[in-house]
Amino acid sequence: MAKQNTRPADSRDMYAVHTMFRREFGALPALIRRVTAHDGARARIVADHVALLVDLLHVHHRSEDDHCWPKLAGRGPQDVAPIVELMRSQHQVVDAALQATERRTAVWRASATAEDRDALADTIDGMLPPLGEHLEAEEERMLPLIDRYLTADEWADVGNKGLGNVPRAKIPVLFGMLLRDASAEQRALFKEAVPTPVFTVMSRVGPIALKRYQRKVFAAR
């Protein structure tokens, strides 16, 4: 049995996760608007990319809701309870925007019209401020509490439970996105938290998979 890591959590790897979401969602409106009206094939490619990012953010939030906030809520309640409630309420706002994005994406995928394209881009534009507000609040108010109240193993479990809900075929691209702008310290934290065989393979395969994926999604038209 592997030795348990009971030292305090180090949540600096979350900054790399947030960088990924800020970068990828921030690029979506312009990417969508560049698709020519009635180019169904191109609309489907970009719609698939939107759906991937929406799914990844849903998975990320569910993992925090199910495996992080409950632990924190039971520890140091005077410090933690109001901030846990803030995180949950912000998740609800962002998740409602994600559901609207899913609906708009499905409509545009089917029609490929300029009207539906622009409606989707506008919906994502509207989601970016509350998403940014949530990520900033989590970094400023929640990450210090995670480091204070969770162990390294408990924090790793939050990420690994989320990773377990990502389709296997999408994991290489996810790792490519995560590691793209990660610092050396953040890469080291991912390496420690993720099962060694997974990180060893994905740290090599992920960047290659991401380049191939980006050529398809961001292709000049």
What's the rounded Cα separation, in Å, for the pair 31 and 66?
A: 33
Q: What token pair was written down for 108?
A: 């545009």
**Residue 221 predicted with pLDDT over 50:** no
Q: Say if 205 falls within a structural domain.
A: no
Q: Say if 39 falls within a structural domain.
A: yes
**Residue 97 predicted with pLDDT over 50:** yes
- Residue range of the domain that includes 40: 13-166
Q: Say if 2 falls within a structural domain.
A: no
pLDDT score, position 220: 54
Q: What token pair was written down for 118?
A: 């622009």
- The mean pLDDT value for 90-96 works out to 98
Q: Say if 195 falls within a structural domain.
A: no
Q: Give the number of domains in the chain.
A: 1
What's the rounded Cα separation, in Å, for the pair 28 and 216?
A: 14
Q: Say if 75 falls within a structural domain.
A: yes
What's the rounded Cα separation, in Å, for the pair 164 and 175?
A: 13
Give the pLDDT confidence of 4-51 residue by residue, as tens digits: 668 999 999 999 999 999 999 999 999 999 999 999 999 999 999 999
Q: What token pair was written down for 187?
A: 């890469």
Handedness of CA 186, 70, 24, 140 (dihedral sign): negative
- The residues near 149 (Cβ < 8 Å, ≥ 6 apart) are 71, 72, 75, 76, 80
CB 189 within 8 A of CB 155: no
Backbone φ and ψ of 8, nearest 5°: -60, 150
Give the pLDDT confidence of 126-171 residue by residue, as tens digits: 999 999 999 999 999 999 999 999 999 999 999 999 999 999 999 9
pLDDT score, position 13: 98
pLDDT score, position 1: 40
**Residue 98 predicted with pLDDT over 50:** yes
CATH of the domain at 70: 1.20.120.520
Short-list 9, 4, 6, CA closest to 149: 9
Give the pLDDT confidence of 100-133 residue by residue, as tens digits: 999 999 999 999 999 999 999 999 999 999 999 9
